[in-house]
């Protein structure tokens, strides 16, 4: 089957105005589509990077998040005595019992937002999370009402900067340091000593979760077996830390994708209709040329193919431009509510190969949908009538 590709490229250059309009419409759709996927990827990437492959998080079964999980002191002691937990240089287990609560902080415009406060063990927390570094000020004193805050918190809330004070459970705690968590979910948290947090919020010896480090990530299966063999731990579940935080991202990423794709589909219908109208107009304006091609021996399939390829090429150009524009969103950070913790989560848009692939395929589909009927119309034109311009 011969396809008049030179004719397609010639006409592609000649109809600049209509091409630019169609490309612009598809660019907008692909920009929105890519942005939605990048938004969801950004949430997932931020929360997944919060976890370390060596770490295990223990929570109560059925808890939707750490704030709804409760672990008593007796369970904490049982977990700490399990095998396969890594030791530090002093021979102590690398483990942190963590009460997690949510407080309100006010933004400069007066809005109140939820922020996560995590009680941590000052002696082990940086061994559990070596990617976290105090970059301003110093670590809190476990004996005092002091906290350190993630960079995203310090940037968003003036009272959470070094020298400021945050009201926790009716008392003011001094901010003595700012930590960098390498763009993970911890950047949106406030950390204080776990015993001080327990006391301030009247938690007794209860915590929300237990984070521990294994000797080796491959020990997880054996650790889980030892965990499940103890009947006193039947109400609790150990999860690899990256997997735990990945699960915490599912609700938010699903919401973003459903809402964003719904909006994108509406836009795409408009873009496809616009491309279809443009292609119908081109068929009407080029009936004599179509008749000439048919008279020269080009089959109906050839005519259909050339018009369809033209529509897909226009869509691909719009898709590539849309992806290119969307890539600049990676320099933007936004804050939204994490539905698992009901607190702020700051993250950036994240582009990945699957986003690019999905966006290109979506652009091709729009080009095909918008170009098929006009292409079929061109292929069905009668040779004699087309040569007459009818």
How large is the greatest C-alpha to C-alpha distance in the chain, in angstroms?
A: 94
Contact (Cβ atoms closer than 8 angstroms) between residue 291 and residue 386:
yes
Query: Measured between alpha carbons, how far is 172 from 212 in angstroms, rounded to an integer?
Result: 30
Cβ atoms within 10 A of the Cβ of 229, count? 9
Place of tokens 């938010």: 252
Q: List the structure tokens of 165.
A: 């004070």
Q: What is the dihedral of CA 39, 42, 43, 44, to 10 degrees?
A: 120
Q: Which of 247, 228, 244 is nearest to 236 (CA)?
A: 228
Count the helices and strands in the chain (H runs, E runs).
Answer: 12, 13
Q: List the chain pLDDT tens, one digit each, 390 residues.
A: 454 556 556 665 666 777 777 788 888 888 888 888 888 888 888 877 778 889 999 999 988 888 889 999 999 999 999 999 999 888 889 999 999 999 999 888 878 888 999 999 999 999 999 999 999 999 999 999 999 999 999 999 999 999 999 998 888 999 999 999 988 889 999 999 999 999 999 999 999 999 999 999 899 999 999 999 999 999 999 999 988 888 877 777 777 778 777 877 777 777 777 766 766 666 555 655 655 665 656 666 676 677 777 778 888 888 999 999 999 999 888 777 676 666 677 778 889 999 999 999 988 888 887 777 766 666 665 555 544 545
Contact (Cβ atoms closer than 8 angstroms) between residue 322 and residue 26:
yes
Contact (Cβ atoms closer than 8 angstroms) between residue 340 and residue 35:
no
Residue ranges of domains in the chain: 5-48+248-387, 62-234
Contact (Cβ atoms closer than 8 angstroms) between residue 118 and residue 191:
yes
Q: Render the burial of 79-98: b for 16+ CB within 10 Å, e for the rest.
A: beebebbbeeeeeebbbbbb
Q: What is the dihedral of CA 46, 47, 48, 53, to 10 degrees?
A: 120
Query: Measured between alpha carbons, how far is 31 from 8 in angstroms, rounded to an integer?
Result: 27
Q: Kindly state the DSSP code that residue 85 receives in the 8-state scheme.
A: B
């Amino acid at each position: 089957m011969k396809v008049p590709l030179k004719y397609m490229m010639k006409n592609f250059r000649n109809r600049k105005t209509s091409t630019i309009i169609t490309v612009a419409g598809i660019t907008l759709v692909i920009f929105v589509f890519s942005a939605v996927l990048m938004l969801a990827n950004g949430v997932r990437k931020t929360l997944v990077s919060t976890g370390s492959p060596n770490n295990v998080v223990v929570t109560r079964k059925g808890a939707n998040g750490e704030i709804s999980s409760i672990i008593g002191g007796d369970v904490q002691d049982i977990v700490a005595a399990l095998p396969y937990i890594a030791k530090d240089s002093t021979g102590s287990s690398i483990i942190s019992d963590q009460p997690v609560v949510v407080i309100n902080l006010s933004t400069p415009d007066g809005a109140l937002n939820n922020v996560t406060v995590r009680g941590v063990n000052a002696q082990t927390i940086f061994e559990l999370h070596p990617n976290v570094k105090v970059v301003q000020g110093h670590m809190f004193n476990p004996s005092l009402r002091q906290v350190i805050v993630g960079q995203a918190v310090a940037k968003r809330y003036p009272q959470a900067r070094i020298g400021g004070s945050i009201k926790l459970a009716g008392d003011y705690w001094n901010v003595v340091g700012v930590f960098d968590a390498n763009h993970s979910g911890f950047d949106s948290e406030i950390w204080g000593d776990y015993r001080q947090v327990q006391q301030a919020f009247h938690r007794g010896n209860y915590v929300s979760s237990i984070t521990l480090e294994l000797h080796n990530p491959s020990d997880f299966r054996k650790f889980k077996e030892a965990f499940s063999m103890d009947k006193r731990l039947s109400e609790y579940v150990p999860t690899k830390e990256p997997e735990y935080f990945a699960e915490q991202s599912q609700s938010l990423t699903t919401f973003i994708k459903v809402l964003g794709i719904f909006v994108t589909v509406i836009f795409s219908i408009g873009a496809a209709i616009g491309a279809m109208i443009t292609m119908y107009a081109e068929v009407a304006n080029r009936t004599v040329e179509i008749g000439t091609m048919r008279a020269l021996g080009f089959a109906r399939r050839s005519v259909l193919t050339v018009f369809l390829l033209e529509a897909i090429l226009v869509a691909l150009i719009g898709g590539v431009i849309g992806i290119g524009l969307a890539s600049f969103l990676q320099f933007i950070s936004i804050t939204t509510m994490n539905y698992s913790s009901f607190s702020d989560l700051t993250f950036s848009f994240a582009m990945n190969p699957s986003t690019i692939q999905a966006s290109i395929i979506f652009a091709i589909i729009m080009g095909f949908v918008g170009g098929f009927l006009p292409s079929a119309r061109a292929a069905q034109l009668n040779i004699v009538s087309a040569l007459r311009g009818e």
